[in-house]
Chain A
């Protein structure tokens, strides 16, 4: 049991994975207008019924959820109310003149010159940052900058509708002792290994330390055959995001001979009508191994094929 093993290797190989998600973000009217006004070098803020103003513009008050009554133009000057430095970049809370709140932006100064209460002024980027807030490159120290005023926003730009956005998250997953051996056996010996359930001879695939159903320790290792029986399947004839091969194909849950759990894999299809007759629960299948050197991955089995007759 992994309670406190003697060794703690940290240099084991990991399974690398990336989740890349495309988004179309909706900024709404206030943020959409703020961003649309970035190329025009105007800072858009929200004014509430009580006269208070927050910048950058929001469609709601972060304090009480109130809706603003109008969008206004904030001045480019203000003062610093807090700061830090991360990875060499100074970030500060900037409270623009006439506004009740502060927001985070880059402070283009050395830490030695930065202090709370310092007057600052926006510095617009020399490069084209489009509708990003980085059109404001940051705020520079401006000790003598006169106090600016909030003004009406004359002829506001159309708010941005949606913003295409992407986020990629990278992972190094540990294999653990059970998946580790399963993939090693696949690679070295071309054998699919499971472990026996806590009270059965049939193997669980993938193998694991604790039987899911009984929550008792699983049994000994067992090699499963590379033949099996389809227990559930679906013929895929529609293209969707994330597919790894052209349609049509069958997605099948296959119980390998010697195992008790279903393994998910692919069966190739030449003819949909034939496939409908042939690929169904109870159909016997065999693994078609990927040619060339095995990698120790599920893809070492290229696909399954129906055993004729």
Chain B
């Protein structure tokens, strides 16, 4: 086990919905911040600092966290905003606790993409002189990435559809994602074209929702009522902004982030994990992330994508509350590790968690968890 000073103590999330039309950001945030303490014996008064992740562009106001401080429980506390997925917020929080300047941190991430135009959000992220005028954005980037990957490895779109259908079926079982009937592989293939060769359902589905994760020092973790889930390794890495300059058909930054995390954890490979929770912006992005984490060989992500240890929460394809998706992966993985062991059954003891951000998964973050 690597550095073991910080543990996930608890988490709470709202249902993830296409649109939370009857709730503001503050309603979603205050809901998870209130619920995260249940069963921990801790309260907001015990929290040393609050770190929140959200997007000013999606929220429609600058420095939007200033308006959400009350809901975050951050009144007169140390508070910081991370304008990246909440998994980076957790990374910040873990390091604060490891530095021994604090012992309990509250990490919150939220998103309401239903309130804005998601294509404009992505368009605002690309270069304005050369890329925006020609219509380049997230969909186009994911489409080109997928086209090249499928061509390089001779993978067909029906294999992708099977993976997508599995994710939706798992999300339906989890019960935290608002959906109608989960689409089967045929429905995935029959969907409208989002960015050839990807259909709509092969790209992650933006949803509204919020998540809160409570983290604490080992000392605190040993005293709370649940088995502590320790964060034993963390790593981040970022690709160049220029899509065409990135290494084709793989995500070097996932591999780099994984190497960093595993080095701390003392694992030899991401494949040691019993639980894998990852955030693919597209189904092909998931495969490339699996390969980057060392769970599958290059070009073989599809061979392990439907294994019983990968994204049993459903992952980002059926539910991508942008900025909260990676932190939800952390919450889901920690829950799987902390669940009591049924008599005689073997329980998972290691998890690897992945979050991503940017156009075509430009930036990536990896955590290892252990009990």
Cβ of B130 and Cβ of A56 under 8 Å apart?
yes
Cα A180 to Cα B26 in complex, Å, equals 13
Bound state CA distance, A133 and B17, in angstroms?
A: 39
Which B-chain residue is minimally distant from A18 (CB atoms)?
A: B60
Pairwise interchain contact B35-A174, C-beta atoms closer than 8 A = no
Q: Report whether A17 and B60 are in contact in the complex, using a CB–CB cutoff of 8 Å.
A: yes
Instruction: Return the contact of A175 from the options B24, B116, B147 (Cβ within 8 A).
Output: B24
Is B240 positioned at the interface, with any CB of A under 8 Å from its CB? yes
Residue-wise interface mask of B (163-199) relative to A, using a CB-CB cutoff of 8 A (1 in contact, 0 not): 0000000000000001000000000000001111110
- Interface pair A62/B245, CB less than 8 Å apart: yes
CA distance A209 to B23 in the complex (A): 11
**Distance between Cα atoms of A208 and B68 in the complex (Å):** 11
Whether the pair B240, A63 counts as a contact (CB closer than 8 A) is: yes
CB of B133 within 8 A of CB of A212, answer no
Give the CA-CA distance A175 to B23 in the complex, in Å. Answer: 7
A-chain residues with CB within 8 Å of residue B21 when the two chains form the complex: 8-12, 14, 174
Q: Report chain B residues within 8 Å CB of A12.
A: 21-22
In this assembly, does B42 line the interface, its C-beta being within 8 Å of a C-beta of chain A?
A: no
A175 to chain B: closest CB distance in Å?
A: 7
B266 in the interface, Cβ–Cβ < 8 Å? no
The proximity string for A residues 168-184 relative to B, scoring 1 for CB distances below 8 Å and 0 otherwise, is: 01111111111110000
A9 contacts which chain B residues (CB < 8 A)? 21-22
Chain B residues lying within 8 Å of A252, measured Cβ to Cβ, are none
Contact partners of A180 in chain B: CB under 8 A: 22
Which residues of chain B come closer than 8 Å to A230, judged between CB atoms?
none
Size class of the contact patch on chain A: 35 or more
Bound CA span A302–B131, Å: 45
Closest to B57 in A: A169
Tell yes or no: B117 within 8 A of A by CB: yes
Nearest chain-B residue to A211 (Cβ)?
B70
Contact A62 B241 (CB under 8 A): yes
- A58–chain B nearest beta-carbon distance, Å: 8
Q: Are B242 and A82 in contact (CB under 8 A)?
A: no
Whether B15 pairs with A85 at a CB distance below 8 angstroms is no
Of the candidates B24, B60, B137, the one whose C-beta lies within 8 Å of that of A176 is B24
Please determine whether A93 and B71 come into contact, CB atoms closer than 8 angstroms. no
Q: Which of the residues B18, B24, B71, B124 comes within 8 Å of A179, measured between beta carbons?
A: B24
A31-B130, A85-B143, A86-B135 given; A10·B30 CB < 8 A: no
Q: Min CB distance, B281 to chain A, in Å?
A: 14
Residues in chain A near residue B120, CB distance under 8 A: 169-170
Residues in B with CB closer than 8 Å to A120 are none
Inside 8 A of B35's CB, which chain A residues have their CB?
1, 3
Interface SS of A by simple majority: mixed
Query: Taking the nearest CB of chain B, how far is it from the CB of A139, in angstroms?
Result: 11
Given contacts A173-B115, A174-B24, A174-B112, contact A86 B60 (CB under 8 A): no
B23 with A177: CB separation less than 8 A: yes
Question: Which residue on chain A has the smallest CB distance to residue B15?
Answer: A4
Within 8 A of B (CB), among A83-116: 83-87, 89, 91-93, 95, 101-106, 111, 116
A2 within 8 A of B: yes
B 99-149 contacts with A by CB, 8 A: 112, 114-117, 120, 124, 128-131, 133-137, 139-140, 143-144, 146-148
Q: Is B20 located at the chain interface by the 8 A CB criterion?
A: yes
**Does B151 have its Cβ within 8 Å of any Cβ on chain A?**
yes
Asked whether A171 and B71 contact (CB < 8 A) given A1-B34, A2-B31, A101-B244, the answer is no
Counting CB contacts under 8 A, is A224 at the interface? Answer: no
Identity of the chain A residue whose Cβ is nearest the Cβ of B73 in the assembled complex: A215
Q: How far is the CB of B136 from chain A (nearest CB, A)?
A: 5
Decide if B71 touches A208 in the complex (CB within 8 Å): yes
With both beta carbons as reference points, the residue of chain B lying nearest to A208 in the complex is identified as B26
Contact (Cβ within 8 A) A167 B124? yes
B203 to chain A, nearest CB (A): 11
Is A86 a contact of B70 with CB atoms below 8 Å?
Answer: no
Interface status of A298 (Cβ within 8 A of chain B): no
Interface string of B60-88 (1 = CB under 8 A from A): 10000000011101010000000000000
Q: Judge if B44 is at the interface, Cβ distance under 8 Å.
A: yes
Give Cα A288 to B164, complex, Å. Answer: 58
Are A27 and B14 also in contact (CB < 8 A) when A2-B23, A86-B143, A104-B136 are? no
Q: Which of A220-275 contact B (CB under 8 A)?
A: none
**How far in angstroms is the closest Cβ of chain A from B65?**
13
B147 x A105 contact (CB < 8 A): no
Instruction: A133-B134, A209-B26 are known; give 5 further A-B pairs, CB within 8 A.
Output: A34-B130, A35-B129, A84-B139, A84-B146, A208-B30
Chain A residues within CB distance 8 Å of chain B: 1-5, 8-12, 14, 17, 19, 25, 27, 31, 34-35, 56, 62-63, 81-87, 89, 91-93, 95, 101-106, 111, 116, 132-134, 163, 165, 167, 169-180, 208-213, 215
Can you name 25 A-B residue pairings with CB atoms under 8 Å?
Answer: A1-B34, A2-B14, A2-B20, A2-B28, A8-B17, A11-B21, A31-B129, A34-B130, A84-B140, A86-B135, A86-B137, A91-B134, A91-B140, A93-B144, A104-B140, A134-B133, A169-B60, A169-B120, A170-B120, A173-B60, A174-B20, A178-B24, A212-B70, A213-B70, A215-B30
